[in-house]
Amino acid sequence: MTTLAYLIPVALFLGGISLGAFLWALRSGQYDDLDGAAERIFIEDDKPKA
C-alpha cells in the first residue's frame, strides 16, 4: 500500500510534464502545417544538382 503512495504522485508528475511538453509544442507551431511535410515529397526539382 505504501508503494501506491509513491507511485501515484510520480505518475501525476510525469503526466503533468507530458501535458506541458504537448502544450509547448502546440504553442511553438509544431502542428501548424501537417499536410505540407507529407506533400513535400511530391515536389520535383527540375534543376539537377551539380
Residues 6+ apart with CB under 8 A from 1: none
Q: How many CA atoms lie within 13 A of 18 on its CB side?
A: 6
- Mean confidence (pLDDT) of the chain: 88
13-40 average pLDDT score: 90
**Which letter, b or e, does each residue of 13-44 get, where b requires 16 or more Cβ atoms within 10 Å of its Cβ?**
eeeeeeeeeeeeeeeeeeeeeeeeeeeeeeee
- The pTM (predicted TM-score) of the whole model is 0.63
Polymer length in residues for the chain: 50
- Banded pLDDT at 49 (limits 50, 70, 90): low
